[in-house]
């Protein structure tokens, strides 16, 4: 879905949880800095600090929570 907006393939990483000693997996990727993402930036950053907006429930669906 995002392949037109990224320059590299996603990176899979694994860390060991310090408490449970169980592995946790992460899949990450970086998007290009494009004007089409400004709306999302403005929702999730306040004065350059990442935040969770108070109205986050307006943006979440059962499928987005599953991901």
| Structure confidence at residue 20 (pLDDT) | 95
- The encoded tokens of residue 2 equal 């995002």
Q: What is the three-class DSSP state of 61?
A: coil
What range does the domain containing 21 cover? 3-66
Give the model's pLDDT for residue 65: 86
pLDDT value at residue 31: 87
DSSP state of 51: -
Using CA atoms of 30, 35, 36, 42 in order, give the dihedral in degrees to the nearest 10.
80
Spans in the chain with pLDDT lower than 50: none
What's 45's DSSP letter? E
pLDDT recorded at residue 3 = 84
Q: Find residue 50's DSSP bridge partners.
A: 45
Structural domain count, the chain: 1
pLDDT at position 38 is: 93
Asked whether the whole model's pTM tops 0.75, one would answer no
Structure tokens that stand for 21 in this block: 């000693």
Coil, helix or strand for 39? Answer: helix
């Amino acid at each position: 879905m995002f392949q037109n907006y990224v320059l590299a393939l996603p990176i899979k990483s694994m860390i060991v949880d310090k408490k449970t000693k169980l592995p946790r997996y992460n899949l990450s990727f970086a998007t290009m800095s494009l004007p089409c993402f400004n709306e999302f930036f403005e929702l999730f950053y306040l004065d350059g600090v990442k935040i969770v907006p108070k109205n986050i429930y307006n943006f979440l669906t059962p499928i987005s929570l599953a991901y």
